[in-house]
Amino acid sequence: MLLLNKVSQLSSTPLQILFHLNGWYFAAFFIAEILMFIYKGVILPYPQANLILDVVLLLLFLGLETLRLFYGWKGNLCQRSLALFVSVAVLVPCAVLSVYYLLLQTFVLRLEFVLNAVLLCFYSFELLLGLMTISVFSRANVY
C-alpha cells in the first residue's frame, strides 16, 4: 500500500514572478547603464576617477544583485527561510547602490533616474513579499 503525504506548498508565486521580472529588468538596466556610462564618458566632462568608481560600483551592483536573486529564487522555491533572509539582507546594499545611481552620481541622466526609480519599486515589493514569505516559512512546521 502506498501512503502519500500531503505536502503544502508555501512558496510565494508573486515573489517568484517578481524575482523573474527583476532578473530581466536588471539585465536591461545593466546594459543601459553601461551604454550611458559610455555616453557620459565621451560627451560629458566626466572626471576619470569618478567614471572608474561608478563603473566599479556598477560591477559590484551586478554581483550583489545576482547573488540576491539567486538566494531569493532558491529560498522561495525550496521553502528555506535562511536563503530568503539572505536575499532580503542583500537587498539593503542593492537599494543603497540604486539610490546612489539615482541621486549621487556626478551626472544623472533622466533615463537613469527613471530606471532606478523603477528598480526601487521592484525592491520595495520584493522586500514586502520576502518578509511575508519568511514569516510563512518560519511558522510552518517542516520536518
pLDDT in tens, the chain (143 residues): 555 555 577 888 999 999 999 999 999 999 999 999 999 999 999 899 999 999 999 999 999 999 999 999 999 999 889 999 999 999 999 999 999 999 999 899 999 999 999 999 999 999 999 999 999 988 876 55
Burial class, 121, CB count within 10 angstroms (exposed 0-12 / middle 13-18 / buried 19+) = exposed
C-alpha cell at 77: 522555491
Other CB atoms within 10 Å distance of the CB of residue 3 = 4
- Give me the pLDDT at residue 2, please: 52
Can you list the pairs that 113-116 forms with residues at least 24 positions away whose Cβ atoms lie under 8 Å? Answer: 115/29, 115/32, 115/33
- Give me the pLDDT at residue 113, please: 96
- Give me the pLDDT at residue 140, please: 76
- Give me the pLDDT at residue 141, please: 60
Q: Tell me which residue has cell 508555501.
A: 10
What is the pTM for the complete model shown? 0.87
* Structure letter (DSSP) for residue 143: -
C-alpha cell at 101: 545611481
- Give me the pLDDT at residue 143, please: 54
Read off φ and ψ for residue 54, nearest 5 degrees: -65, -40
42 alpha-carbon distance from chain centroid: 29
